[in-house]
Structure 1
Amino acid sequence: MINNHNSNGSTIAVAGSQSNSPVFSSYSTTTSNVSTDHGNEISDINLYVSPPSSSLLCPLHNGLFNQPLIAKCGHTFCKYCLHKQQSNNTDRNKQSQFECPFDKTLLSMDADFFPNLALSTQINDLMIYCKHGIKRNHTGEWVQDEQGCQMKIRLGSRFEHDRICDYATIQCPYNKTCPPLKRHQLKQHTLICNHINCPHKSAGCMFEGTKQQLDEHLLGCVYESIKDYISRNEEQITILRTQLDEKHTENDFLKKSILQLTARFDQLALKLEAKTNKFEGTLKHIQASLEATQSQLSETTMDLVMLKKNANLEAIEIVDLKIPQLKCKGTFTGHNGPIWCMTVTNGFLISGSSDQMVKIWDLTTLKCKAMLAGHQGIVHCLAVIGNRLFSGSSDQTIRVWDLETFECLEVLTDHDNTVCALAIAAGYLFSGSYQIIKVYDLESLKCVETLKGNNHWVRALTVSGGYLYTGAHNMVKIWDLGNFECVHTMTGGSGSIYSLAVAGRKLLAGTYENSIVAWDLDTFDVISKLDGHIGAVYTLAVYGQRFFSGSYDSTIKVWNTDSLICVQTLNRHTSSVESLVVHSGCLFSGSADNSIKVWR
């Protein structure tokens, strides 16, 4: 699969059988010009350890997404492709609009597209071979070079690796006329290079020679005796130049900011006036509808009472037609990054965040009781048993904490990738990462088993009825907790699975494709695929006859577990909902807007 934007804008695709989506007909393990953590394109060739999933392909150019943007209709496109479509539109009145090729929704280029962070993360997590360790074989295909770098790296980390790779080609730091060399050859080259300048060249010394000659030269160099004075002057000059550049940059930034703020203020004033008028009209309509509904409910109740009397059915109870609705009762703030995970125990709400902290909140006083520091990356998952708390992180470790002293008891370092999910059952701790689940004995805290067979990141774990359920890409595996054997594999999902929950004899899976898949645990058949969200479903929580789903679209939906019908949508968060937990009739929701909201 070569991810090149063709000059004529064409793609290779054939009509698909589901959702009118294109199915890509070209596929390979190499690509070029792909999205990076820096949001730039590069021209080097990448050889993948495993072929990328077709769900990571842009439908407009049939290559890996480059700076993916998700539209309000739920479909995702490359930023490059959208701008290209815009520039090719000869109608100036429509250059700020884009028509979705799937559902024909007319979208505003400025207001209806948002960065698809989940998809960018998936692309950047693809594993590739170092570009300094691949070559073309006799057939012209890219293969691994045994004489080059043997490292396997994340696609999003290749720039960082390239800066330290021993096989990267570099220029001689002393003279640009020297031939290029590998980084690991620099030490040997330094011994023979005859273009090494005197360190006092900036002061006027014109010496040039080998390292040995330089050492001899410094014994008699007139500038060597005053090197401290020269060094102080150069440092002062450097500081003054830096300060001058900073002032110029600050001045330019302030001028640009003033212009942008003025224009933004004018736009906001116009939007506020329009939204105020619209809100007033909507409020009047809602009030009128509510009065009409209350009047109709009263009339229906009276009709039922009369029906009972006329039919002599006093023993029949009238059903209360009012359905209790959840309302936001408060907000926890204190984290300096998105809240990825939460759990509740012994009157404490515990949260993990991108700010690398674990915070413990007292549910009685609603205040932060303790902050647990130690992780060097995002805290992705939490699990608790008794007085011990386990936290998994992108720093590839699991930390064990004492909930009485709030001290770290131990650090588990068996993983070599991000720890995405944790679960506790039957005396064991289970931790999900890239393609594997590690099993730890809770007494010895030693890794006793590694469960393999998953095809991608294991981002979701849940336990029920003596079985461990694990979610990866388009599959759920069921493991017997007695012998750690996989007893069944269920497919038919929708892309990568981000969350799992068991409700009775139903298994629920939140997916990257904006849907919730429900399986029957007796027949292992798909019961239904629940739509409604317009972003990946990151989290699920079950409570009685209801379950809750949190999504990238910033909403929480409430579903009936029997009918699988959505009965309410909660939309107080301003960014994606990453975590949900239910305790004592309260729903807690953690979001990328750095807040935790309480619903009741």
Structure 2
Amino acid sequence: MAEFDGPQIGTSANNFFQSDQDIAIQERKFKKQQNKAGDPIECTSKVLCMILTEKTDNFDYAYIGESGFIAKKVNLSTKKTVKIFKGHTGPVTCLGLWYKDEIEYLITGSWDKTLKKWDSKTKESLCTFSLHTDFVKSLAISHKTSTLFSGSSDKHIRSWNLLTGEPLKVFKRHTRGIEDLTFDEKETFLFSASSDGLVIKWNPLSGECLQIFEGHLTNIYALKVFEEEMWTADKTTGKPDMSLEHPDFVRCLAICGPYVISGSRDESIRVFDIGSGKLIKVIEGHFDEVSCTAIRGTRLYTGSLDCTLRMWSLTEITSQESQQKPIVQEEKSTSMLTEEEERELEELMEAEDV
């Protein structure tokens, strides 16, 4: 009889229905999670998004969106959660801050197809925006016009009046979900990145599509516009001005002076020199996908699906010699679902069990 050369199934009672490969991955992650690199802040569920707020009382704070249906405010110095915002019925996938009359408002978007505006001081939910027909995955705020823009898996971008909650316009051109939204530094143009592989430049007032950028071969997960340069992130690209290669999907981006910092599904953070494209540093510490990055001063903050938020010194990162790792090709999945759809389905099912 010919030997079966497919995945071997674990025989331990605790490992039924898991292949040896799955068990090995779990064991590796268990060992890796024991490390304290980046001085981790433990969270109650997967960290999906993060935004830094203004320093108060000489402390730095961050708002975090989690897969456990909550957003929370964390003191980054004491590692203590100071506020929890409850009201969504799905994972919180995107965050924004809006300031009006010296009052800070938190804006959250969720897989429950809604966005909410909160008084960040009282935690009161002031308004719910609910016209999307699928997951809300991204948002951007125009402070000049007090307008909220939201992107969804329903392929549409919507704009809303933040003062009244009134829906304004629907932006239609993408053929798949909107993964990220951002403005240029003057808030003149809105840019959208989609899983259809396109970036679109919009007139945010009229909703007119001004320009389409092609070149990515797969989903675009992150988008930054900095000093008239646009940076986008997926796994492979067509013919951009510069391509910074990664062994797996790039989930988030940050720009810091002459450096591009990326977070990847391979659990690593990478620092590239913008001028040369050279890989300066690979940062290890997270033991699951790196989902979000933020920078304040000389500190880099990263959030991950490993349920931690970590802090890194940019001075130390950029002063060390390059530690480039070889690019390893990932195994192709035989599932009928795309890798993104499999991951999102798994996250949603786990979140429902919370």
Deviation, 1:94, is 9.4
Q: Is 2:90 aligned against 1:337?
A: yes
TM-score by length of 1: 0.41
Contact 1:475 1:489 in 2 (8 A): no
Aligned residue runs from structure 1 range 43-192, under 5 A = 61=6, 81=7, 84-87=8-11, 107=27
Aligned residue runs from structure 1 range 343-492, under 5 A = 343-346=96-99, 347-386=104-143, 387-425=146-184, 426=186, 427-433=188-194, 434-474=196-236, 486=240, 488-492=241-245
Query: For the residues of structure 1 that align with 2:296 and 2:20, how far apart are their CA atoms?
Result: 38
Distance 1:103 1:85, change over 3 A: closer
Query: For the residues of structure 2 that align with 1:339 and 1:476, how far apart are their CA atoms?
Result: 32
The DSSP-based 3-state class of the residue aligned with 1:420 is: strand
Query: For the residues of structure 2 that align with 1:106 and 1:469, how far apart are their CA atoms?
Result: 33
Greater helix share, 1 or 2?
A: 1
Aligned residue runs from structure 1 range 198-237, under 5 A = none
Query: For the residues of structure 2 that align with 1:461 and 1:446, how far apart are their CA atoms?
Result: 20
Query: For the residues of structure 2 that align with 1:528 and 1:448, how far apart are their CA atoms?
Result: 37
The DSSP-based 3-state class of the residue aligned with 1:457 is: coil
TM-score by length of 2: 0.68
User: Which one has a bigger Cα radius of gyration?
Assistant: 1
Query: For the residues of structure 2 that align with 1:507 and 1:475, how far apart are their CA atoms?
Result: 16
Deviation, 1:514, is 0.9
Where in structure 1 are there 5+ consecutive unaligned residues? 1-6, 11-60, 62-80, 113-322, 478-485, 566-577, 579-591, 595-600
Query: For the residues of structure 2 that align with 1:357 and 1:419, how far apart are their CA atoms?
Result: 15
Deviation, 1:558, is 1.1
Contact 1:379 1:393 in 2 (8 A): yes
Deviation, 1:438, is 1.0
Distance 1:528 1:330, change over 3 A: same
1:286-309 CA distance string (max 9 Å, x none): xxxxxxxxxxxxxxxxxxxxxxxx
Query: For the residues of structure 2 that align with 1:378 and 1:331, how far apart are their CA atoms?
Result: 22
Contact 2:108 2:115 in 1 (8 A): yes
Query: For the residues of structure 2 that align with 1:548 and 1:529, how far apart are their CA atoms?
Result: 15
Deviation, 1:443, is 3.3
The DSSP-based 3-state class of the residue aligned with 1:563 is: helix
Query: For the residues of structure 2 that align with 1:101 and 1:353, how far apart are their CA atoms?
Result: 33
1:27-64 CA distance string (max 9 Å, x none): xxxxxxxxxxxxxxxxxxxxxxxxxxxxxxxxxx4xxx
Distance 1:368 1:521, change over 3 A: same
Contact 1:97 1:107 in 2 (8 A): no
Greater strand share, 1 or 2?
A: 2
AA aligned opposite 2:193:
G
Q: Cα RMSD between the aligned structures?
A: 3.3
Query: For the residues of structure 2 that align with 1:93 and 1:373, how far apart are their CA atoms?
Result: 46
Query: For the residues of structure 2 that align with 1:474 and 1:325, how far apart are their CA atoms?
Result: 39
Q: Is 2:280 aligned against 1:503?
A: no
Query: For the residues of structure 1 that align with 2:13 and 2:89, how far apart are their CA atoms?
Result: 42
Query: For the residues of structure 2 that align with 1:401 and 1:105, how far apart are their CA atoms?
Result: 44
Distance 1:528 1:410, change over 3 A: same
Matching residue of 2:56: none
Deviation, 1:105, is 8.0
Number of aligned residue pairs: 269
Deviation, 1:101, is 6.6
